[in-house]
A and B are shown apart, each in its own frame.
Chain A
Amino acid sequence: MITAEQKPLDEIREMLAPYRRVLALGCGSCVAECAAGGEKETAALASALRMAARIHGEEILVHEKTVDRQCVREFILPLDDIMGDYDAVLSLGCGAGVQAVADMYPEVPIVPALNTEFLGETKDQGYWVENCVGCGDCMLYYFGGVCPLARCAKQILNGPCGGSVDGRCEVNPDVPCAWQLIIDRLTRLGALDRLERIYPPKNWARKQGSGPRKIVREDQQR
């Protein structure tokens, strides 16, 4: 899922300063799962903004609403009925959600309340880690289900680098060496021979070298 963290309140307040009537818009999907922009977080942030305005003698109206998915047009459409009431939208969606709302309502300023972080795996309650960089050319088969691009600090495809100590990364000893994990897993699977080939440098054009990526599936379209 997509992970995010809330921006500092001062930054949000600064961006909202020109506006008097604000809709705080949460998203009930990924950012709710990572406790950054779901219904509860949207309500808490809206409360904080109203209280801050009261303390500082400012005049601002903050209403709150959470849609199930801010990045899907059909879920945003019901906002048509209320959008005219607001000067701006404070989006607690990920970057995709913010831009989907901005695209739907070109006349309404939109302010991001979150910093979108990474594609994360939920390791434990309140603990998310980046395990995928969305490179567009998955090589997890060759590396036993451990991605060296996301999990190796040096992003090397022909590892290990030789610097790890006791299976920990030399750059950040808090994390396991991705290449140690790769070799351990491939050994367990009896597939260590997958590392006998030399992997050429990654073709990053499939990630971001050609502008924004898109997926078109005609079988899923109208």
Chain B
Amino acid sequence: MTDPSRRTLALFYCRNVPEAGEADRQAIEAAYGGHIRLFPLPCSGRLEAVHLMRALEEVADAAYVITCPEGACRYFEGNRRARKRVERTREMVAAIGLEPERVGIVIGSREAPKTLAQLAARIYEETSRLGPSPALKRPGTQPPACERRRSWL
């Protein structure tokens, strides 16, 4: 059970980020008590706007992606695509009245590589300052009346 006073971060990440194996993922999620939800990707280029939007709607106060360094993508341009998709998603998020900083990208560094745990900690700290997201479906909240009415049909 997550603590409602703490923020939740959905973090998509490229599997080529240092120390981003399955055991690392489980350790980070356990350390944050479910307040960081990690979604490994074979390549950050797999990320689409809909993934970030769904994360903001259903599970998290912020949704970020961590990519491998520029020029180091195993599939050549995955991290460049991820950056463009994050930019587009930020525009969508801004259009609905949410802070665009709730969506973001962190590009790994070749010179000073950081592990998944280090990057996750930094992003969690920064995004937590934004406070609770008014767009996030909170557990236990009633569905809209129009949704409830549907059950009568």
Chain A residues within CB distance 8 Å of chain B: 8-10, 20-21, 40-41, 43-44, 47-48, 50-56, 59-61, 84-85
Q: How far is the CB of A35 from chain B (nearest CB, A)?
A: 9
Of all A-B residue pairs in the complex, the 8 with the closest CB atoms, nearest first, are A51-B135, A52-B96, A47-B53, A20-B146, A44-B50, A9-B95, A59-B144, A61-B146
Which of B92, B136, B143, B146 makes the CB contact (< 8 A) with A48?
A: B92
Which listed residue (A43, A44, A55, A85) contacts B97, Cβ 8 A?
A55
Residue of A nearest to B138 (CB): A54
- Chain A residues with Cβ under 8 A from B143's Cβ? 61
- Alpha-carbon gap, A49 to B50, bound state (A): 13
B98: A residues at CB distance < 8 A: 51, 55
Q: Would you call B49 and A59 a contact (CB within 8 A)?
A: no
The residue on B at minimum CB distance from A42 is B50
Chain B residues with CB under 8 A of A84: 153
Residues of A within 8 A of B101 (CB): none
Chain B: residues with Cβ within 8 Å of the partner, total of: 23
Q: List 11 A-B contacts (CB under 8 A).
A: A41-B50, A44-B92, A47-B56, A48-B96, A51-B135, A52-B97, A52-B135, A53-B144, A59-B146, A60-B146, A61-B144
Minimum CB–CB distance for A85 against chain B, Å: 6
Instruction: Determine if B54 and A43 form an interchain contact, defined as CB atoms under 8 angstroms apart.
Output: yes
Expressed in whole angstroms, the Cα–Cα distance for A51 and B153 within the complex equals 25
A residues in contact with B49, CB < 8 Å: 40, 44
B114 to chain A minimum Cβ distance, whole angstroms, is 30
